[in-house]
A and B are shown apart, each in its own frame.
Chain A
């Protein structure tokens, strides 16, 4: 953007603190990326365990999912930052604790999506695969899993967007992501209207962008039946 336009749209307090706020924004993206990648892997694993109905493991996965889904994210972060390190006797950083918390938190929700996706694939298709000589594992890998993953793109992306928003909660345990940095800038400059509005608009743009990506991906990959 040319200089005069920038000056007209972006409040002075933001321009003055841009590097600091930009670093916060970068941390927000980093936390979201770690949460999305790690949470998807753990969520997939938990969802597979739930689906497979392995005697003890599936029950444990179900228990984990129920507990996390019943707990507010804030409390999950407190547990990861204060409670677990106190119990296990190790030191951690706010960023590491928040990353762990996001992964553990969002995985529980993604696991349920994975499971309902796996359940939505008709069993007749597996039978057809077996009839052509595929093994059970091949039928699962080639027929069930790809369909399940493509079917759950919309709910999975709404979880991703939710996680992106929820990274703001990391500010409570002292992480300097976008919200945390905004609060710090405000403490110094005391211009809450401009600062909070800027943070809000930034989240709005990034979250809308991510949900647009989800919609485009779904339009490309969804399975018509």
Chain B
């Protein structure tokens, strides 16, 4: 089993009404692989990664996670989602709970861990993302970068086998981007399987194994990172890259 890819998308199609959002998207991510997804706004990147943990239903094709069909009727989605960590652009920390309780919540209620165990694990993860002193702070009292690191700790607390990131740094002030990217880089070095939607090409160049380029709901390019950056195969990707790197 460990030889086969962890995440497999096979000709996934999705539309809102009559507008297609994903068209025949196929993608395979092996264990330990880091895949960066990029592309213009509205090209379907968020939709694509949300199909992996079943937050986004699709009309045809198949999405498999660790051999299990995500869209199948009998799939226990909560159990599946607990094995996949997800980090959002706007953090989505629970504002009525401290950082610590944010990281504890799903451990207790989704995994059934004891409070003591969950607390210990949460403190360890907050230490790992450099936020030991802020454990009792509420989200409103944390900077954007700190909030996003708490969100990463919250996802890691469930001991996921893969992590999905949806533009984790694009709501951050420039000086906070690196503190989040550093945490993500360390995670990648530890062998986590990661699918990252981002426009941080420096991060992609340094960490990604592969780059996927999307446009108008299609996966236009899917190539090893080095190749992609050396010379994108399509005109669209070339223009996109030059625009991003220009500023």
Contacts and interface: CB of A to CB of B under 8 A. Distances in A.
A and B touch in the complex (CB under 8 A): yes
A133 interface: yes
Contacts of B138: 224
Interface string B78-101: 111111111010101111100000
B55 interface: yes
A138 B109 contact: yes
Interface stretch (A30-38, A124-132, A177-185): A124-132
Contacts of B154: 132
Contact of A133 (B93, B95, B110): B110
Chain B interface category by residue count: 20 to 34
Interface string A119-145: 000101101111111110010001100
Given A147-B95, A150-B96, A133 B106 contact: yes
B92 A127 contact: yes
A132 B97 CA distance: 16
Given A127-B55, A224-B140, A225-B140, A132 B106 contact: yes
Contact of A130 (B81, B85, B90, B111): B81
Interface in B88-131: 88, 90, 92-96, 105-106, 109-111
A135 B112 CA distance: 13
Given A133-B79, A133-B158, A224-B140, A138 B95 contact: no
A184 B85 CA distance: 69
B155 interface: yes
Given A128-B88, A132-B154, A133-B81, A138 B55 contact: no
B110 A223 contact: no
Contacts of A138: 109-110
A150 B94 CA distance: 13
Interface in A93-140: 122, 124-125, 127-135, 138
Interface in B49-88: 53, 55, 77-86, 88
Interface residues of A, number: 21
B96 A223 contact: yes
Given A131-B55, A138-B109, A125 B82 contact: no
Nearest to A125: B92
Given A142-B105, A224-B138, A132 B81 contact: yes
A146 interface: yes
B95 A124 contact: no
B208 to A, nearest CB: 22
Contacts of A125: 92, 94
Contacts of B84: 131
A125 B94 CA distance: 7
Contacts of B106: 129, 132-134
Interface string B228-242: 000000000000000
Interface in B198-230: none
B110 A132 contact: yes
Contacts of B90: 124
Most buried by A among B83, B96, B154, B155: B96
Interface in B130-167: 138-141, 151, 154-155, 158
28 contacts: A124-B92, A125-B92, A127-B55, A127-B88, A127-B92, A128-B86, A128-B88, A130-B77, A131-B55, A131-B81, A131-B85, A131-B86, A132-B81, A132-B86, A132-B105, A132-B106, A133-B80, A133-B111, A134-B78, A134-B109, A135-B78, A138-B109, A142-B105, A143-B94, A147-B95, A150-B96, A225-B95, A225-B139
Interface of A: 122, 124-125, 127-135, 138, 142-143, 146-147, 150, 223-225
Closest 7 CB pairs of A and B: A133-B82, A133-B110, A132-B106, A128-B92, A224-B140, A131-B86, A133-B81
